[in-house]
């Protein structure tokens, strides 16, 4: 994963954390519980969990995002670690993850760490991109790269967007019991149209440009954004075609 611009993330993509508030209700944090926020980003949801009375540790791979989180919530604990390789001496009551796991192809390693880190009876609450997530955005990027005569990077090398059946089977194969799982479409307003779509590509979609020289990327991104503006318009507004997967599971 490339390093993200935490300021742009907080400004243009506030909806990532805002939608995560519903997930906190599913988590239902209790006073005194020890909870891990896996992929905490800039810490907004970590803080909201803490406000419910839980003891929370925010974990993220990006030091840039963690620096932003620490500057906003200095009273909370944040650690840098990889989701495929983290370990805590004391098992946690719950692991929470919002809009993170679809960045990690090595899901069995992640799930093994989640299982290992949970107490017996501990719960795992997560939301991630599901099969078909941001399909039109990705198609616009790949079309623009192809038209410019560069080789496309396959979707599976950038994102992991599983179907509901695929992901629940993977969790259960690795020891977690799934009590609830559902996928749903969530068209998401892109408030500033062209500027925000460009930011989306530069933050979330830049790994698709691995075969494109840096000096050539801006023009291709402009072409991709133009297609997004055409295909994702509704009533003079623009909506990203998000599809999400929500999971509630426990360690037996």
Residue 207 is part of a domain; what is its CATH number?
A: 3.40.50.150
Q: Strand, coil or helix: what is 186?
A: strand
Residue 21 is predicted with a pLDDT of 82
Lowest-pLDDT range of 5-14, 155-164, 200-209, 225-234: 5-14
How far is it, in rounded angstroms, from Cα 138 to Cα 243? Answer: 13
For range 144-156, the mean pLDDT:
97
Range of the domain at 246: 6-250
pLDDT at 6 over 60: no
pLDDT at 4 over 70: no
In a domain, 52, yes or no: yes
How far is it, in rounded angstroms, from Cα 10 to Cα 51? Answer: 20
In a domain, 1, yes or no: no
Looking at the 3D structure of the chain, how many domains does it have? 1
Q: Crossing angle for the helix pair 193-204 and 135-147, nearest 10 degrees? A: 80
DSSP string, 48-112: HHHHTT-EEEEEES-HHHHHHHHHH-TTSEEEE-BTTB---SSPEEEEEEES-GGG-S-HHHHHH
In a domain, 217, yes or no: yes
Residue 19 is predicted with a pLDDT of 67
pLDDT at 165 over 90: yes
Q: What share of the chain is helix, strand, coil (3-state, %, to 5)?
A: 45, 25, 30
Residue 70 is predicted with a pLDDT of 97
pLDDT at 144 over 80: yes
pLDDT digits (tens, 9 = 90+) for 19-60: 678 899 999 999 999 999 999 999 999 999 999 999 999 999
pLDDT digits (tens, 9 = 90+) for 71-83: 999 999 999 999 9
Residue 88 is predicted with a pLDDT of 82
């Amino acid at each position: 994963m490339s390093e993200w611009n935490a300021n742009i993330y907080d400004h243009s993509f506030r909806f990532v954390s805002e939608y995560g508030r519903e997930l906190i209700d599913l988590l239902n944090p209790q006073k005194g519980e020890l909870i891990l926020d896996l992929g905490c980003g800039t810490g907004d949801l970590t803080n909201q969990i803490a406000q419910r009375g839980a003891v929370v540790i925010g974990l993220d791979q990006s030091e840039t995002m963690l620096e932003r989180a620490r500057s906003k919530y200095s009273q909370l604990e944040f650690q840098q670690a990889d989701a495929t390789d983290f370990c805590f001496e004391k098992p946690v009551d719950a692991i929470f993850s919002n809009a993170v796991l679809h960045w990690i192809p090595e899901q069995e390693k992640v799930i093994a760490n989640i299982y290992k880190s949970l107490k017996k009876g501990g719960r795992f609450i997560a939301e991630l991109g599901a099969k078909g997530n941001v399909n039109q955005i990705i198609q616009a990027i790949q079309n623009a790269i192809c038209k410019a005569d560069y080789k496309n990077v396959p979707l599976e090398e950038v994102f992991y967007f599983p179907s509901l059946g695929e992901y629940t089977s993977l969790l259960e194969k690795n020891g977690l019991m799934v009590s609830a799982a559902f996928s749903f479409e969530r068209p998401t307003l892109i408030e500033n149209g062209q500027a925000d779509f460009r930011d989306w590509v530069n933050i979330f979609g830049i790994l698709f440009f691995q075969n494109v020289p840096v000096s050539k990327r801006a023009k291709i991104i402009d072409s991709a954004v133009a297609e997004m503006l055409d295909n994702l318009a509704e009533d003079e507004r623009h909506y990203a075609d998000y599809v999400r997967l929500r999971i509630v599971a426990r360690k037996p």
